[in-house]
Chains A and B, each alone.
Chain A
Amino acid sequence: MLTDEEKKEILEEVEHYPSPSVACIDALKIVQHHRGWVSDEAVKDISEMLMMSNEEADSVATFYSRIHRKPVGRNVILICDSISCMIMGYGSLYDYLSEKLGVKFGETTPDGRFTLLPVSCLGDCDHAPAMMINNDHFNNLSTEKIEDILNSYK
């Protein structure tokens, strides 16, 4: 069941488009904003609300990389693995984070604090290497800097 708040936010997006199903991507993002990820059940609820088939909504939900279809931790770390960050040492950054958190890409720490994921270019190439945690950008990263950054996410 979509919450009243989720429904209200989705309807606000629907207003900007000629028909409800156009807001499908916005709706998926709204649900993810509230729940961290989008379950099969949530996709079904969205499809009913936007008057589209469940399959159609599911095809959209599985296409976009920033829609999580599995539960994630309280904080999602996205490390840029594209070319400029690779040149500037994304590899050692990943090794450090992976060892420190004890997880590989796609995994969540046992305490549910962090999920580690790769991400394509974040548009911060002149300050590489770069990463995001939740909605926050970080750049010119070094292992020392990451240590401090991680501490501010509980």
Chain B
Amino acid sequence: MTKHIRPGTPPLNLTEYIRVGGYDSVGKALKEMAPADVTSLVKASNLLGRGGAGFPTGVKWSLVPMDKECLKPKYLVCNADEMEPGAFKDRYLLEGNPHQLIAGMIIAAYAVQAEKAYIFLRWAYKKAEVILNKAIDEAYEAGYLGKNILGSGFDLDLHVHSSAGRYICGEETALLTSLEGKRGIPRAKPPFPANSGLFGKPTVVNNVETLSWISHIVENGADWFKSLSLTGTGGTKLYGVSGRVKNPGIWELPLGTTIRELLEEHAGGMIDGYRFRGLLPGGASTDFLTEMHLDVKMDFSTVGTAGSRMGTGTMIILDDRTCPVAFIHNIEKFFALESCGWCTPCREGLPWVEKMLASIEEGTGKMEYLDILKFHTKYLAPGNTFCAHAPGAAEPLQSGLNYFYDDFVKHITEKKCPWR
């Protein structure tokens, strides 16, 4: 997937991408395959959604009504609103190979017979916006977008919508509400977007990394894709590491690569003078893992068994010279600010959590705060809130209280932060 990406140089233009065979799969899918065959192929490949939830992509597509009487137009939306703190993988794909994404979107839209597609882009990705719009213009000019693509009779319009900045818009139903020009507030499910999505029409929302895979699966088959991973889940993954490591960065590696390999071989280990204490495996909304989890394989199910989530696969490292309370406070402050305010536990609970953590960090915390914080990790759990925002915020808090409990207590008994 990252074969044609050369950081620091412009991405391949349409002619160059066609020359390396990048658009062959579009012709193959639109002219030789029925839409249902494309969906079956993606289902067979076991491509799990790379946005963080890991939902099977082919299954998502197969939920879209395909009968002649269904509501139209149907929509395909690419979720490029990457805003998870610690995540920087979609940006790499957007800036590095826009035509790979466009080719994947044409095939995905064909599979569900969507006539209109949008890329919902993070506001800050200005460079990606320019690159995408140029690539889309090229694709229109060459007949890969617009009416009767490659003479197949299939039509597709593609437009980039650049957001105005709110984390919640990465949640797929909030994204749709925002794309409709409203406040980005999540919707109740069911109905699922496959039946009632953008403007009430059948809609598929897929992440950038997920869609970037589609053309390769059509080209090489489901078995090839499955053989790429170490755990049978299918495919490679863009993994990233940030924090006090020697070589922070992003790498495409087989799904199931261990945390140890990522941390020690690819990220080069900790910077001299810093010791590893823990990590969030897939962005700010995932549970902490510690030294005992270093041999955990990074795939959706294995990380789940270890008590966390793979999420975006971009890890944030906590070192011994960073205060864990300040670390968690920073994250909860983010989630409190980014709550859309729609449901009470999230709107009222997260600011309270944030204030208590601030107080503990400042040295004015009390022991009973720890119980209140612990209560909130249950109060903000799935089922009590409208969407996954507050439950995501609760993850680093609950595991942080568990693994770094002594550090919390020290702040309270010594009435100061030991790291200051």
Q: Which residues of A contact B (CB under 8 A)?
A: 16-18, 21-26, 28-29, 56, 59-60, 63-67, 81-84, 86-88, 119-128, 132, 135-137
Indicate whether A123 sits within 8 Å of B88 (C-beta atoms), given known contacts A25-B178, A66-B123.
yes
- Which of B91, B182, B314 is most buried by chain A, counting CB atoms within 10 A of its CB? B182
Contact B181 A60 (CB under 8 A): yes
Assess the B284–A83 pair: CB atoms within 8 A. yes
Given known contacts A22-B179, A83-B85, what 16 new A-B pairs fall within 8 Å (CB)?
A: A26-B181, A29-B162, A63-B340, A64-B166, A66-B165, A82-B330, A87-B243, A87-B317, A87-B327, A88-B244, A119-B124, A120-B338, A121-B83, A121-B87, A125-B86, A137-B126
> How far, in angstroms, from A63 to B340 measured CA to CA in the complex?
8
A105 to B122, CA, bound (A): 23
The residue that B87 contacts in the complex, of A25, A60, A64, A123, with Cβ under 8 A, is: A123
B85 and A60 within 8 A (CB): no
Q: Is B65 an interface residue (CB 8 A)?
A: no
- Interface secondary structure of A, over-half rule: mixed
Q: What residue of chain B has the Cβ atom nearest to residue A57's Cβ?
A: B181
Residues of A within 8 A of B88 (CB): 123-126
Chain A residues with CB under 8 A of B340: 63
Interface code B317-342, partner A: CB below 8 Å = 1, 0 otherwise? Answer: 11100100011001100100110100
Q: Quick check: A125 and B180 within 8 Å, CB to CB?
A: no
Q: Are B248 and A126 in contact (CB-based, < 8 A)?
A: yes
Shortest CB-to-CB span from B399 to chain A, Å, is 15
Q: Are A123 and B122 in contact, with the CB atoms below 8 A? A: yes
A residues less than 8 Å from B123 (CB atoms): 66
Q: Which of chain B's residues have a CB closer than 8 A to the CB of A21?
A: 181
Q: Is the CB of B248 within 8 A of A120?
A: no
User: In the complex the two chains form, what is the Cα distance from A18 to B86 in whole Å?
Assistant: 35
Distance from B179 Cβ to chain A, minimum over Cβ atoms (Å): 8
Establish whether residues A135 and B126, one from each chain, have CB atoms under 8 Å apart when the complex forms: yes
| A60-B179 Cα distance, complex, nearest whole Å | 12
Could you tell me the distance between the alpha carbons of A119 and B337 in the complex, rounded to whole angstroms? 11
How distant is A37 from chain B, measured CB to nearest CB, in Å? 13
- Contact at B181–A24, with CB atoms within 8 Å? yes
Say which residue of A25, A120, A126 sits within 8 Å of B242 (CB atoms). A126
- What's the least CB distance linking A19 to chain B, in Å? 8
A27 to chain B, nearest CB (A): 9
Q: Which residues of B in the span 183-204 have a Cβ within 8 Å of any Cβ on A? A: 183-184, 199
Q: How far is the CB of B283 from chain A (nearest CB, A)?
A: 9
Sorted nearest first, the 7 A-B pairs with minimum C-beta distance are A64-B164, A66-B165, A125-B242, A82-B85, A126-B248, A24-B181, A22-B181
Smallest CB-CB separation from B158: which chain A residue?
A: A16
Q: Which residues of A contact B249 (CB under 8 A)?
A: 126
Chain B residue nearest to A18 in the complex (CB): B199
Which of A28, A59, A123 neighbours the largest number of chain B CB atoms within 10 Å of its CB? A123
Cβ contact within 8 Å between A123 and B82: yes
CB distance from A71 to the nearest CB of B (A): 18
Whether the Cβ atoms of A126 and B165 lie closer than 8 Å is: no
Complex contact B164–A66 (CB within 8 A): yes
In the bound complex, do residue B319 and residue A87 qualify as a contact, i.e. CB atoms below 8 Å apart?
yes
Q: Do A22 and B284 contact each other (CB < 8 Å), given the known contacts A83-B327, A125-B316? A: no
